[in-house]
Structure 1
Amino acid sequence: MKKIILLLCLIEFSFCVQGQILKKVTDRAKQQTNQKVDQEVNKKVDKTVDDAAGEKSTTDERNAKADQGDQKNKQDASSKDVNNAAAPTTIKAYSKYDFVPGEKVIGFEDFSTGNIGDFPAGWNTTGSAEIVTIEGKPGRWLWITKPGVFVPEFTTKYPEDFTFEFDLLHGVPIRGAYFSLAMAELENVEQPQNWGLASNRLTLGLYISNSDQEKGTTTTEIRKNSESQSSNQSYTDLLSDKYNPVHIAIWRQKERVRVYCNQEKMWDLPKAVATDAKLNALVFSAQYAEEGIQHYIGNLRLAIGAPDTRNKMLTQNKWVTHGILFDVNSDKIKPESYGTLKEIANVLKESPDLKVKIVGHTDADGSDADNLDLSKRRAAAVKTSLASDFGIGDSRMQTDGKGEGEPIDKNDTPAGKANNRRVEFIKM
């Protein structure tokens, strides 16, 4: 059985990304369900691109086609059914997960605005990649088709407090097929391929082992002001599942950096980043990309600001969070929301007289009536989780939903829509 090594190198950064927040995003992509697909990702993706007339249609029309199966990128495979490859992860599996996203989303990418088969706008690259859909997997993905570096142009400056998350489906890489994410500060933003020369950088990498005896290894290397520090190793088998994506989360608070792979905290390093390090780029790097070596990334999310739940609940009487996530067009809470739910549950337990109203909000995609109903159901789902998973009394919580009626950001950018999809806890 193939194992995977997750390599994390922490160093200072040097890499200026010139860019702007991504253009219009349409969040109307609906989950494809009840589909079976054979899975062996070492065979070539069979891409179906829009015909000329379809390419001229609106974004909503293209997304509708993709949802209906008119535009698919099939991963041909052996007799294994993707939908049966692994049981869904429950929220209780994340009982030790303490990741809480930043307060404001400033970068978001789900590839819903681009055309199937195209390289996405708002990115820089020295290689090649294209937007695809995968049978049995919701949403869209960026498939790396030729080696190089791939830079999402979210911002030109990364503050000292931020979180970054993305989903990774590694396909069937082989031994030596190294794949990495680096946060860096480069001298020349026009040469992102030189990220490895930066004096300051944070690198999260994958490495493949073909040995059945070798356990997946994660390694950290800290480098400050061009001086290397001691390295550390950790171990995980989470990335050995080639049929299901993993969720990678990185949390920087000044010098401290924490890294998570699904429910596992891989590192919590108190002195990982130099105090004067200036992060300004995210760089994905693939050394190999061909038919038998496939990497897919999706659902990128950058948020800034350190959460301060207790203070805001008790002094400002309201806490707004973007960290409670749901399946598309659903009130089913994603398991990676556990850290945020635990945060509010702790505040409620510390203040037994505190009562809250839980209010759901959506973006403007879809009809007003559907969004209002969805927001109410999501608020109710949060209440149910706090009661059943954390022991908070029902009588201390009320719920409501505002749909798309009270936006806090624009609804015409990916980040703006992500900010509007939120849950508010209001002190009663």
Structure 2
Amino acid sequence: MKTSSLIKIFLSIIFMFGFGLSANAQFLKKLAKKAEKAAERTVERRVERETSEKTDQALDSILEPGSGGKNKAPGTGGSDSPSSGGKSDQGNDSSSSKTDNSSGEKSIEVYSKFDFVPGDEVIFFDDFSNDFVGDFPSKWDTNSGGEIVTVGNSPEKWLELIPGWNTYYLPNITSLPEDYTIEFDILTAGLDDKTSSQAGFHIMLSDDPKFKDGSHYTEVWLPVGQYGSFDIRAKNYKQGKGSEINSAVRSDIRKAILNRPHISIAVNGQRYRLWVNESKYVDIPRFIPEGSDLKSIKFNVNGLKDGKDRVFISNLKVAKGGVDLRRKLLSEGSVSTNGILFDSGSANIQPQSMGIILQISQVLKQETSMNLNIVGHTDADGSDEANLKLSKSRAEAVKKVLVDVYRIGSDRLQTDGKGESEPVADNNTPAGKAKNRRVVFKRI
């Protein structure tokens, strides 16, 4: 009603002013029509926005029973204090499941077509468990600052990245294989519709071993601003040729950014792929500059308002491999992977692990006479008895997904667990523990 009254008053003024001015009458009439249409568009946009918000709330109440559409993602609400995206204790090498028990099956189903396969030989892993809160992490380097923090009551540790063009990199990684994967979790706080459209998280692969961009590099920029749907940007650079690729990838990752997203990257030769949770956004076949040696992994954040918008990183894992496990299982009759992740101390499979289980199911569907033994292994945290029980439960959990989600006959699958009895690496380091937490598939 208010908008309609304003339109009438505005039109009355215009026509009163134009009365008797015959030379300008036609012009004023057109101006009045434009003003009326502009006001109508404003009303339409407002109604559309409010309708969209109501629709989102209704969908939330359906997809997440009991929420009433009022659940907020961690880090929202304008608070400067980040909220934990779910507890994940030591011994876990990635983020915990992003759903509670009531919606866990839904998440597994959502990820059932997720085709990311993590590398099977850990090059680097850091969850900051060996660092003290308040310190800068010992395995990282920066030309700025930053410190380890904890969030709420969770024992998890996060590195807070200082906004600005400050570089964070891993000095102990001096070379990278042709095929490898990178995974990490992002946590945010204080982001809202006032956050700059230029706010983003940069992931760079470079041939410079320290803080410079380098002669050859690739860079992917993930937007974190909330008031609009901003594109993911992908750029590469080769000395003498400049940027051969500088692309904007259509995306809307606003909700994911607020809810502790898990980022997965696969590099296979020149091909570069990136997933945010289960969705693949970047897949560029010749993104890595030909003939380059991109041996340094770097991060930075920019466009954030200091003291308000905050971004954290944790559970960074770099692993050799990420190649097709199907061929190896067919040719060798056995594959071992630490890419199937579980909630710490539990047999709950984290949904982003589904890429590997999907590949195993594809082999079994092709080779109908093949039967498998699924064997679980743990690290050395906890008692021998508890770890043996846990390893068997985890093998059973993998079998359950193969049977329930991918419809593999249960009579074709056996399970076993070895606990901590057959380590393949040092259990005194986070990277060693990550290697020891694995699942083995053996043809029988």
Q: Give the TM-score taking structure 1 as reference length.
A: 0.76
What does residue range 377-416 of structure 1 map to in structure 2 within 5 Å?
377-416=393-432
Distance 1:342 1:209, change over 3 A: same
Aligned to 2:140: 123
Q: 1:200 aligns with which of 198, 216, 235?
A: 216
Aligned to 2:361: 345
Q: 1:168 aligns with which of 186, 197, 214?
A: 186
Aligned to 2:201: 179
Which AA in structure 1 matches 2:387? N
2:234 aligned with 1:216: no
How far is 1:46 from its partner? 9.4
Distance 1:260 1:143, change over 3 A: same
Q: Distance in 2 between matches of 1:416 and 1:121?
A: 17
Q: 2:108 aligns with which of 91, 94, 102?
A: 91
Aligned to 2:129: 112
What does residue range 7-406 of structure 1 map to in structure 2 within 5 Å?
40=76, 42-45=78-81, 90-135=107-152, 139-145=156-162, 147=164, 148-173=166-191, 174-175=195-196, 176-186=198-208, 189-190=209-210, 192=211, 194-195=212-213, 198-209=214-225, 211=227, 214-225=228-239, 226-241=241-256, 243-287=258-302, 288=304, 290-406=306-422
Q: Distance in 2 between matches of 1:305 and 1:241?
A: 27
How far is 1:137 from its partner? 5.7
CA offsets, 1:289-340, max 9 Å, x none? 6220200111111000243423332332210011111111110001101111
> Contact (CA 8 Å) 1:41, 1:292: kept in 2 or not?
no
Which AA in structure 2 matches 1:135? G
> Contact (CA 8 Å) 1:145, 1:289: kept in 2 or not?
no
Distance 1:140 1:94, change over 3 A: same
CA offsets, 1:190-217, max 9 Å, x none? 5x1x22xx23212122335464xx3231
The structure with more strand, counted as a fraction of residues: 1
Distance 1:289 1:277, change over 3 A: farther
CA offsets, 1:226-283, max 9 Å, x none? 4212433223333335542001111011011111111111122111112312121111
> Contact (CA 8 Å) 1:216, 1:236: kept in 2 or not?
yes
Distance 1:83 1:135, change over 3 A: farther
How far is 1:90 from its partner? 0.6
How far is 1:103 from its partner? 1.9
Q: Distance in 2 between matches of 1:384 and 1:115?
A: 39
Aligned to 1:16: none
Q: Distance in 2 between matches of 1:67 and 1:158?
A: 29
Aligned to 1:419: 435
Which AA in structure 1 matches 2:264? A
How far is 1:285 from its partner? 1.1
Unaligned runs of 5+ in 2: 1-48, 50-71, 91-97
The structure with more helix, counted as a fraction of residues: 2
Q: Distance in 2 between matches of 1:308 and 1:37?
A: 35
The root-mean-square deviation of aligned C-alpha atoms, in Å, is 2.8
How far is 1:87 from its partner? 6.5
CA offsets, 1:133-192, max 9 Å, x none? 212767221112464211123410011110001111232342033331211111xx35x1
Unaligned runs of 5+ in 1: 2-35, 48-65, 69-81
Q: Distance in 1 between matches of 2:332 and 2:382?
A: 32
Aligned to 1:63: none
Distance 1:342 1:169, change over 3 A: same
> Contact (CA 8 Å) 2:224, 2:254: kept in 1 or not?
no
Q: Give the TM-score taking structure 2 as reference length.
A: 0.73
> Contact (CA 8 Å) 1:159, 1:279: kept in 2 or not?
no
Q: Distance in 1 between matches of 2:252 and 2:153?
A: 23
Q: Distance in 2 between matches of 1:165 and 1:407?
A: 23
